[in-house]
Chain A
């Protein structure tokens, strides 16, 4: 990808002296951005570790036969898990993605590095504050902190600090884009990956504004200033809470395109289509809170239907488009490299032992097949009646933000370690099957949750034997098996994350330095896409032929997907039609 290095150095380019040009990708990495990517990624991994220890404890508590934690600690650890995973881990990593996809991919400098570091340390301070308050037992309110449940003011303050820091980092992404354009560090339109990151950043700004709108009044309320209506809280909270999931989706899809290119030379089948699909995410984002409120008393059916469907499912359409263009790009890229036999040679011959590729592909499949289908179905106004606050809900989002986003983040880390940290990936043999173990564990966890939820097993529940309740309730025996599935699947997934943390920390702090210009004969710890970067550009003739040949394999995959979707969706309507009449 020699095209990324500009021919004409821009004015005042002192920073270039300290920058380095990546021998593999040709990208110019300025010192500041590189460091910011590193530190944000490291912080992400630290909070991931906290979150996963919590996850293990939770999984072993919901496994009713083990039932590890006392109720108070179950709720406390649940609060801890939600915040460290969904907020701190994910957002720190996203900041790393923004610093990479902005200034680095555009070959520009980092504008205002001091401000960037201020943002980083605000985020660290906020996250540490929140964790401290939770451990002190002053915030047993779960990550949603629905008022009038009340936490110590420092809890809300910590979240506000964290959000301000994230706001700074996100603003600097826009600044970097402006600077890159003004200093002409690239030609043409920004790469698709950067475009995707741009949509993530726009959504992040909208999200953070919702966050301010809800956390500032709630912080004041916790100091006995003013009031907060519980229903209004739920609505605006989910304006923050769900929009932030859309950041995750946009960031994850960007990483799919990035890893597709790096691992197998995936191409962008059509720039217009893919960019439009990203844009659709932005347009309908503010409607995202509705599917959390489908069985709430505060809103009427018209509001619910219009908003839960993001104006007639146009955001779903966007995901279905990426669900086609991402595998189609892989197929077309592989066909261009000569894997043209039959419908599926391109898939069979993909580099399955490269964790960057396997993690990316598993993330795509898990997110699409399991996450997407369950999400749209459960977010249907009426179907939500048989879903709301049962284990079907965490069953759904552990195959979106965990099996999808977190797995994509882990997969891209295997490439960041050599490319940005300039180290070999340690424990390489383990790294090769880490994505598979994680995918298996999280799938078992989620499917068990989903089925248990369809028996009415509640989420966020310390003990479904109801030991001190006035009445008894015994779930059918199959629920015991499903709860064991949560325990076992959760343990497997947690082990896989611990493996990942060991690999990441081991490589970054104790790994062997590697010069990618001359890695030597020892290929251990260097993913195949870095050893031999697949072609990133193709001639006009080859491209025309590739379009002519099309992507017959992907077509089969998406129709299988659609069939499963239709079946699952209408099965749920059928089940709904059998419960009490209600209206």
Chain B
């Protein structure tokens, strides 16, 4: 079989078996592709970080309403214009993205699992937890409920990382994670004085 460049029409029967080295590489590449594929179901079984969540449609106004009720129920103070909310362990937690703030600010406990519900009132927003670097899309009309477990106490920020209009770069929220067993009232004193 004559070798030709890619510019020349292939004449005669070019349907020939690949040579040894090509076959070797294709086999290895195929196996690697299977590994790449298998890792995802594997992580669902064994890994701790999956974006599955509890997903449903929701009316944006209804979600906002629920978030307000949640903030009222567990609010412990004001934090730069939004309520600081300390839900009990295991609670359903609501966080609403809207132009251009995250509502409310949250106080969570280290090592405790919560169900964090994310949604948007107006346009798409992006939930980006700093410095954990955990990122999720927040879409109006959809409730994204994820079971999360903070693994380290400290100050966190919620950066909006989906373009949501001219105020996008000022959309910054706060989550504070307190050490396990901290009393809610103790942490509520002087909320966020050192945060500005």
- Where the two chains meet, the residues of A that have a C-beta atom closer than 8 Å to any C-beta of B are 1, 3-4, 25, 71-72, 75, 105, 140, 142, 146, 148-149, 186-193, 196, 229-231, 234, 254, 257-258, 260-262, 265-274, 293-301, 304-305, 308-309, 312-314, 316-317, 320-321, 324-325, 328-329, 332-333, 336, 376, 380-382, 384-390, 454-456, 458-464, 466-473, 536-540, 542-543, 546-547, 550-551, 554-555, 558, 562, 565-566, 569, 573, 576-577, 579-583
Asked if A582 and B134 make an inter-chain contact with CB atoms under 8 angstroms apart, the answer reads: yes
Asked if A380 and B39 make an inter-chain contact with CB atoms under 8 angstroms apart, the answer reads: yes
From B44, which residue of chain A is reached at the shortest CB distance? A301
| Residues of chain B lying within 8 A (CB to CB) of residue A456 | 128-133, 135, 159
| Residues of chain A lying within 8 A (CB to CB) of residue B61 | none
From B144, which residue of chain A is reached at the shortest CB distance? A297
B3 at the A/B interface (Cβ < 8 Å)?
A: yes
Asked if A325 and B172 make an inter-chain contact with CB atoms under 8 angstroms apart, the answer reads: no
- CA–CA, A266 to B6, complex, Å? 8
- CA–CA, A105 to B7, complex, Å? 7
Q: Which of B1-49 contact A (CB under 8 A)?
A: 1-12, 14-22, 25-26, 28-30, 32-34, 36-37, 39-41, 43-44, 47-49
Chain B 144-160, CB within 8 Å of chain A: the 1/0 string? 10111111000001011
From A386, which residue of chain B is reached at the shortest CB distance? B133
Contacts A231-B139, A313-B36, A582-B134 hold; do A333 and B22 have CB atoms under 8 A apart?
no
- CA–CA, A146 to B10, complex, Å? 45
**Nearest chain B CB to A413's CB is how many angstroms away?**
17
- CA–CA, A308 to B43, complex, Å? 15
Beyond A1-B5, A382-B51, 9 additional contacts (C-beta under 8 Å) are: A230-B141, A260-B5, A269-B22, A297-B142, A301-B51, A332-B3, A380-B39, A381-B40, A458-B126
Q: Which residue from A231, A471, A551 sits with its C-beta under 8 Å from B141?
A: A231
Q: Which residue from A384, A546, A565 sits with its C-beta under 8 Å from B51?
A: A384
Q: Which of B105-134 contact A (CB under 8 A)?
A: 113, 118-119, 122-124, 126, 128-134
Asked if B136 and A268 make an inter-chain contact with CB atoms under 8 angstroms apart, the answer reads: no
| Residues of chain A lying within 8 A (CB to CB) of residue B128 | 389-390, 456, 458
| Residues of chain A lying within 8 A (CB to CB) of residue B171 | 469
Asked if B52 and A25 make an inter-chain contact with CB atoms under 8 angstroms apart, the answer reads: no
**Nearest chain A CB to B184's CB is how many angstroms away?**
21
| Residues of chain B lying within 8 A (CB to CB) of residue A376 | 36
- CA–CA, A381 to B136, complex, Å? 12
Contacts A3-B8, A268-B3, A583-B52 hold; do A273 and B22 have CB atoms under 8 A apart?
yes
| Residues of chain A lying within 8 A (CB to CB) of residue B113 | 581
**Nearest chain B CB to A380's CB is how many angstroms away?**
6
Q: Which residue from A146, A192, A314, A581 sits with its C-beta under 8 Å from B6?
A: A192
- CA–CA, A270 to B80, complex, Å? 66
**Nearest chain A CB to B73's CB is how many angstroms away?**
22
- CA–CA, A230 to B120, complex, Å? 11
Interface pick from B64-72, B90-98, B161-169: B161-169
Chain B 163-184, CB within 8 Å of chain A: the 1/0 string? 1111011111110000000000
Asked if A582 and B142 make an inter-chain contact with CB atoms under 8 angstroms apart, the answer reads: no
Q: Which residue from A262, A317, A458 sits with its C-beta under 8 Å from B161?
A: A458
**Nearest chain A CB to B76's CB is how many angstroms away?**
17
- CA–CA, A332 to B20, complex, Å? 14
Most-contacted residue by chain A among B50, B55, B124 (CB, 10 A): B124
Contacts A336-B3, A380-B36, A543-B2 hold; do A469 and B170 have CB atoms under 8 A apart?
yes
**Nearest chain A CB to B124's CB is how many angstroms away?**
5
Asked if B7 and A1 make an inter-chain contact with CB atoms under 8 angstroms apart, the answer reads: yes
Asked if B21 and A268 make an inter-chain contact with CB atoms under 8 angstroms apart, the answer reads: no
Asked if A538 and B142 make an inter-chain contact with CB atoms under 8 angstroms apart, the answer reads: no
Asked if A266 and B5 make an inter-chain contact with CB atoms under 8 angstroms apart, the answer reads: yes
Asked if A537 and B49 make an inter-chain contact with CB atoms under 8 angstroms apart, the answer reads: no
Contacts A312-B33, A558-B25, A577-B47 hold; do A537 and B170 have CB atoms under 8 A apart?
no
**Nearest chain B CB to A136's CB is how many angstroms away?**
16
- CA–CA, A257 to B171, complex, Å? 47
| Residues of chain A lying within 8 A (CB to CB) of residue B118 | 297
